[in-house]
Amino acid sequence: MATKSIAFHSYKGGTGKTTIASNYAALLAKKGFRVALLDLDVYAPSLLAYFQKQPKKWLNDYLLGEADVDEVMTEVTDIIEDYSKKYDKAAEIRGRLWIGFCNVKKEEIYKIEGGTSESSKLQLRRFIVLREKLMRDYDLDYVIIDTSPGIRYWSINALAVADTLFLTLKTGDIDVEGTKRLASEIYGSLTKYGTKSFLLFNRVAGYCIPSHIMNSLEKGNDQNEGLMEPYSTGDAQDVLSRETRMDVISAIPCYCDIQFTKKEFLTALRYPEHPFTRQMEMLVNAMATKA
Ligand SMILES: Nc1ncnc2c1ncn2[C@@H]1O[C@H](COP(=O)(O)OP(=O)(O)OP(=O)(O)O)[C@@H](O)[C@H]1O
Ligand SMILES: [Mg+2]
């Protein structure tokens, strides 16, 4: 199959981009796909929290011309297989996963901050070549790109090299005007050239509401009127989808156990039966049919 490259982006921060990108990439690898996951959240890299492997070199080194692609792509297939086996001895990772990590050190971030200098132009050219080299030399099925929120230099570059954009929204904390502007100004200019874009709603309300309240809400019981608010999220999704002219690829509920864990881990590998994992499975299927 032709390589698909998907960028996870959002207008506001903390919408779940890194959580979903990491779990989605790991699940794709488990299913037998060859996947590269790139940390293009260069201003606040955070993939190391999910994949505890110290890379030899960073994406920053590659962008600065100080490392080759092979030196900055760290294979984590073994790590995620060992991790899965801790919880299910029969688990296996049938594909492969490589990660391009970004350096968290401030001085390294400053070096690739972008601008109009010759060195910035070279960095951008190297970034475009990175995607080409990855596709050619790694025989990839997917390139997954995690980005910084908002309209920032490296986020826009990441969106420009992707063929599918997932605009991630955190339900209950959506800047409707900002999202619409982002969709029309930035996404609009990319989709003109064939890029596909979707809305991905995360932390949708509803999952934690006790079933007896859910039942009476479904029956239209007025006594729970005060609780009706979360159920308007479906309408909000429709309105935003219409106004941005983007289809909804997924609506993932908010799971308290994910929100309140002290340490980030790959739910999709640790708990194969978790409803979040089922959501990731659905996203894999939705991509296969819609994008
Ligand atoms: N479906 C979910 N249910 C509950 N908690 C979630 C869910 N998705 C993400 N979270 C939690 O939300 C927090 C923010 O998620 P994450 O770091 O992935 O967002 P982000 O968009 O990458 O943020 P940033 O813009 O800062 O990079 C994390 O604590 C994560 O565990
Ligand atoms: Mg993030």
Does residue 10 line the site of ligand 1, with CB under 6 A? yes
Q: How close is the Cα of 95 to the center of ligand 1, in Å?
A: 26
- Name which residue sits closest to atom 29 of ligand 1, judged by CA: 259
> How confident is the model at residue 53, as a pLDDT?
93
Distance CA 43, CA 162 (A): 19
Q: How close is the Cα of 14 to the center of ligand 1, in Å?
A: 5
Q: How close is the Cα of 222 to the center of ligand 2, in Å?
A: 40
Cβ atoms < 10 Å from Cβ of 164: 18
Pairing outcome for strands 4-9 and 164-170: parallel
Would you give per-residue pLDDT tens digits along the chain (291 residues)? 899 999 999 999 999 999 999 999 999 999 999 999 999 999 999 999 999 899 999 999 999 999 999 999 999 999 999 999 999 999 999 999 999 999 999 999 988 987 778 888 999 999 999 999 999 999 999 999 999 999 999 999 999 999 999 999 998 889 999 999 999 999 999 999 999 999 999 999 776 766 676 666 666 655 545 444 444 567 788 999 999 999 999 999 999 999 998 899 999 999 999 999 999 999 999 998 877
- Name which residue sits closest to atom 8 of ligand 1, judged by CA: 16
Does residue 254 line the site of ligand 1, with CB under 6 A? yes
> How confident is the model at residue 114, as a pLDDT?
74
Does residue 74 line the site of ligand 1, with CB under 6 A? no
> How confident is the model at residue 124, as a pLDDT?
94
**Residue from 200, 259, 263 whose mutation best tests the ligand 1 pocket (most atoms within 8 A of CB):** 259
Domains annotated for the chain, with CATH where assigned, are 4-173+255-277 (3.40.50.300)
